Structure 1
Amino acid sequence: MSKVVVAKEPDFSFLLTNRRLADRSTCQLPLILMKGGHFNWTANAFLTEIGGGPKVYNVKPLAPTVVKKAYSLNIFCAFLEDENLTIREVDDSALYEFVDCLKDRGVTDSTIISHVRLALQYISFVSDRHPEDILATFESDATADYKVHMEEKKFKKGHREITYLTHHCLEGLIHIDAGIEYIRDYELEKWLDAINCTTFHPEVDEFLLSRWQAFTTLLEITGSRITEVHKISRSSIKKAAESLLDPNKAPVIRDIPIMKGKYRGRTREVRVSQDDLQIILWHINLIERTFPNITHDSIFVDSRSGAELKASYLKNYAKKVINGSKYCRDLRHITNHSFRHRFITLTVAKELRKLSAAGSFQNILTVAATACRKITMHASNDTLSRYIHLAIEINSPDSSEQSDDCQESTPVKVRLQQIFKIADRYKSKEMSDKDALDSMLETISELQKLPSLKTRSHS
């Protein structure tokens, strides 16, 4: 099938304008090969076009972006091969089939939209080169019998006007810029349970379970991007744990790196609960007990060798666990970044509630956003405005979301909620005596595995 081959260090000295050696050594060149190793001239011509043209490279976009687009384009090329189609034979129905193919991969709606939009760019590129094929049109009332009918739309991002292509096969999918993917409590329950029913790990031992709990907890309590979570060290968690002996002192995780945005290269800190910190310490203790001779300081390691996991592996790990679980369809719109949205939203909600309790302010929303920005290190309050409506919704009296300052860790809170739900279903006669008892015992068994519960049982 079609595949991407990446030239690691091509000699582009005659093209590159950047004189920095580091940028030259990381300037990779992707190539798409068809089945049997044949060079895909059309696809690679398109990559050259979006990479800046034949006379410039690694300027705008940078080479890593072109490599990402190559892998995305290759998905479409592989689909065409499987359907025995050439790019010049694609029609509207083929694009609908491509969307169905992407859904079967278990990717999010926004990822589907991204892949299809790049495919549309590719089709438009070929159509411009071969107008005799009557391949694609933007005109709704086109008289010729075109195969693909796409639309060109625009939206404003700051002071820029961005143009993109779309197609009616994308109708019904969540728009990539329609809103934030906030992970709800009931979705968090499914996320945490996915490790127990995934084909990616047919057998789950304590190490894998603790790693999943620590991974989820760090995503939620720090609001970090996945590349930033990867950089959090065991030492920083141990340093935060020094305050565990003082019940009146909340632990603080410091030196959390910022890998993107205005404050890139700096660090930040977050205040966390003792129970959440113990979840992470549980996994750290298992690492150091299982691999006493490791020399790195990473929290996330290979369960067999103890080697540090790469950021790219960690980025795709959750997707593989979720896609192999019974919650694949329910959680396909949730990504690692959804936890960052959850963290920011709940932080704004807490600040709003505190300010409301202290008295009404005319600029209460601005004050709450500013308080949150000091924690998340956003560039401005404007970037936090889209979280305000969610925070207000969470603080509404009929909301079941968690916006309080509860000291229980997320895994504990989720399982306590499960117990309450089992009790409610049993009372309403939705569950038999046996099913309710089995579900209750299973949930309690999961609770007993958590370190915060173990600590209390011995205190």
Structure 2
Amino acid sequence: MTFVGKLWLTSSKDFYLPGYQGLKKSPRWSAPDMRVVYWPSGCVCWQLNLYLLHVRRSGSAISTVNTYASELCLLIRFLSESECPLEEISDDVLVSFSEWLLQRKKSSGNHINRIILRVITFLEWYQTLLIGRVLVGTLGQGGQVTITLRSLRGGRGAVRIRTQHHAMVPASIPRSVHPVSSGSISALLDSCEWTAKTNFRRNRDRCMLVLLADTGVRREELTWISVSDVIGAAGDRKLPVRTSKRKGNPYRLVPISDETHKMLVEYIDVARSIQVRKLKRRKIGYKDLGWLFCTREGLKMAPSTVSQLFSDLRAAAGITERVSAHMFRHRYITLQVIARLRSLSQRGSIGVEAITTVLSKVASLSGHSSLDSMWRYVDWAYEQLEYEYNDSANVAEEALRVIEVLMGDAQSSASKELSESLSIVKDALSQLRTKSYELPSVVAHSLRGSGNKPRD
């Protein structure tokens, strides 16, 4: 058997790590859907599989183990093409591997560096199985791969040790991520219908997309939402959300629409309830943990699973542009800023203090701890407002041309009453066209950097 594409096969749903027969009921040793790695020739890569078993036994999640497998499979493919044994990896081989990754043009600089560090970690573990062989070491230790350890001092005097190797490449320039378009959201929702193999998956995935768009929560925050949180929001329609990236993960209340709440309750009462009943019949002692968006096995969903869902739906929908869960968050926050700017523009010009107040209110919904990174949403809000105003102006221009033609027909037919009515409509459209070009004051928007430098 030769592997041309991916270099792994997946274990069964009920697979447990070998050697622990007496502990089979312990979730610590379960390894469902865990990847088993092969060389391109079809031979089992026992070294890498032992390392993955070690990672799983150390307490890492299956999704983490499988991510490590994907990254290290790139090393296995490169070594196979280079006809280099695993034990012969050196500094030169690692540099060639880094150049090989660059030539593939499928990984960013940051991703390549992460792969290099994963390879070094694997080699550090693997050398413990070898006798008289130092695969990795600092200068003077005689390692085949020479690393440098740097001490980095963080906040409150904390010290971190960073591993570096000269095979690492310059970090990538951050990509500019914009709010997701409404067309992409519709395409993703439609693709849920034909990509999901079960009714539970179909309903769950659609509810996840709608809730992300309606609340702007982060991936991890989405996985923390429970059934009781949704039921508790029945009165005031405010969903309690645990805030990630904040110390202690404090709760914040995010308003949701009646339609969204009704959709979630229906999903809980029907699709999710049926899935839980199936699990209780199939698994003795199964207990529902109450997660709103659980896996098919009733477990808590991982944030990486949310990302994989977007990748699958995007491919199924044929969307070529980048789409992610965080872009849903960008869209939600931008719409919140737009709504408040429209309200303020009715009262006159908008100053720096007014926009800062707007951002503070939106931050209480989005869970931002600092306003510095939120000024870009003002940029996006003004871009959207300008597009909408220009679009409405074009519509008004076209309508005026039609009205003028109709007025000419009315005058030629001597219909005075129709001519007067069309004149009233023309005056109204003229006012709409003038108003279409009236954007909210951009004074605060253009000068905000003078006293408040944005930091992403």
TM range (shorter): 0.5 to 0.7
Q: Percent identity?
A: 18
Counterpart Cα distance in 2 of 1:375 and 1:386: 17
Confirm whether residue 224 of structure 1 aligns to residue 221 of structure 2: no
Counterparts in 2 of 1:325 and 1:112: CA distance versus 1, 3 Å: farther
Task: Name which of 303, 328, 338 aligns with 1:349.
Answer: 338
Q: Name the residue aligned to 1:274.
A: 258
Question: The residue matched to 2:174 in structure 1 has which SS?
Answer: coil
Rounded Cα–Cα distance in structure 2 between residues aligned with 1:324 and 1:354: 39
Instruction: Tell me, in whole angstroms, the C-alpha distance in 2 between the residues paired with 1:70 and 1:292.
Output: 31
Distance in 1 between residues matched to 2:228 and 2:361, nearest whole Å: 28
Segments of structure 2 that go 5 or more residues without pairing to the other structure are 1-6, 11-16, 18-27, 29-35, 52-57, 124-134, 140-144, 146-153, 156-161, 281-287, 392-456
Bigger drift between 260-269 and 118-127 goes to 118-127
Change (3 A) 1:387 1:278: same
Q: Take 1:211 and 1:204, find their aligned partners in 2: how far apart are those partners? A: 10
Q: Which residue number in structure 1 is paired with residue 183 of structure 2? A: 186
The answer for the alignment partner of 2:443 in structure 1 is none
Cα deviation, residue 219, structure 1: 1.2
Counterpart of 1:223, as a letter, is G
1:254 aligns with 2:236: no
CA distance in 1, matches of 2:46, 2:165: 29
Output one character per residue of 1:400-436: Cα deviation in whole Å (capped at 9) or x when no partner: 99xxxxxxxxxxxxxxxxxxxxxxxxxxxxxxxxxxx
Q: Hey, what does 2:313 align to over in structure 1?
A: 322
Distance of aligned partners of 1:240 and 1:209 in 2 relative to their CA distance in 1, 3 Å threshold = same
Note closer, same or farther for the CA distance 1:118–1:302 as it changes in structure 2 (3 Å cut): closer
CA contact (8 A) 2:37 2:73 kept: no
Q: Is residue 2–residue 33 contact of structure 1 (8 Å, CA) maintained in 2?
A: yes
User: Which residue among 284, 287, 295 is the counterpart of 2:268?
Assistant: 284
2:132 is aligned to: none
2:111 corresponds to which of 109, 115, 127: 115
Structure 2: distance between partners of 1:354 and 1:68: 49
| Residue equivalent to 1:363 | 353
Q: Is the 8 A contact 1:73 1:115 kept in 2?
A: no
Distance 1:93 1:364 in 2: 51
In the alignment, which of 39, 54, 59 is matched to residue 47 of structure 2? 39
Range with greater deviation from structure 2 (264-273 or 287-296): 287-296
The change in CA–CA distance for 1:363 and 1:334 in structure 2 (over 3 A counts) is same
- Offset at 1:122? 7.7
Q: CA deviation at 1:325?
A: 0.8
Any conservation in 1 of the 2:192–2:206 contact (CA below 8 Å)?
no
Does structure 2 conserve the Cα–Cα contact (< 8 Å) formed by 1:194 and 1:327? no
- 1:291 deviation in Å? 4.9
Distance in 2, Cα, partners of 1:213 & 1:349: 26
Residues 22-421 of structure 1: matches in 2 within 5 Å?
Answer: 35=39, 36-39=44-47, 70-71=68-69, 73-81=71-79, 83-84=81-82, 86=84, 88=93, 90=96, 94-99=100-105, 102=106, 112-119=108-115, 177-198=174-195, 201=196, 203=197, 205=199, 207-242=200-235, 251-258=236-243, 260-287=244-271, 290-291=274-275, 293=277, 295-302=288-295, 307-311=298-302, 314-319=305-310, 321-322=312-313, 324-327=315-318, 330-331=320-321, 333-359=322-348, 360-398=350-388
Note the C-alpha offset of 1:381.
0.7
Which one has the largest radius of gyration?
Answer: 2
Bigger share in helix: 2
Distance 1:191 1:361, change over 3 A: same
| TM-score for both structures, normalised by structure 1 | 0.53
Cα deviation per residue 1:362-416 (whole Å; 9 max; x = unaligned)? 4333122111112122111112123221122122243799xxxxxxxxxxxxxxx
Secondary structure in 2 aligned to 1:269?
A: strand
SS in 2 for 1:268: strand
The residue type paired with residue 185 of structure 2 is: L
Q: Which runs of 5+ in 1 are unaligned?
A: 9-24, 26-31, 45-57, 103-110, 136-156, 243-250, 402-459
CA contact (8 A) 1:120 1:166 kept: no
CA change 1:357–1:211 in 2 (3 A) is same
Q: Secondary structure at the match of 1:396?
A: helix
1:347 aligned partner, one-letter code: Q
* Higher normalized contact order (CA 8 Å, seq sep 6+, divided by chain length): 1
Structure-1 residue corresponding to 2:432: none
Letter in 1 for 2:207: A
Deviation at 1:269, TM superposition (A): 0.8
Q: 1:71 to 1:38 in 2, by over 3 A?
A: closer
Equivalent-residue separation in structure 2 for 1:292 and 1:262 (angstroms): 32
Contact 1:211/1:300 (8 A) holds in 2 = yes
C-alpha spacing 1:356/1:315, structure 2 compared with 1 (3 Å): same
Specify whether residues 196 and 385 from structure 1 end up closer, same or farther in structure 2 by C-alpha distance, changes over 3 A only.
same
- What SS does the corresponding residue of 1:254 show, helix, strand or coil? strand
Aligned equivalents of 1:3, 1:209: Cα separation in 2: 26
SS of 1:300 mapped into structure 2: coil
CA shift, 1:267, in A, is 0.3
Instruction: Please report the TM-score for the alignment, with normalisation by the length of structure 2.
Output: 0.53
Counterpart CA distance in 1 for 2:8 and 2:198 is 34
Query: Aligned with 2:249: secondary structure?
Result: coil
Judged with a 3 Å threshold, the aligned counterparts in structure 2 of structure 1 residues 85 and 96 are, in CA distance, closer, same or farther, namely: farther
1:257 to partner: Cα distance? 1.0
Which amino acid in 1 is paired with 2:215?
A: T
Alpha-carbon separation, structure 1, partners of 2:271 and 2:178 = 32
Distance of 1:37 and 1:92 partners within structure 2: 21
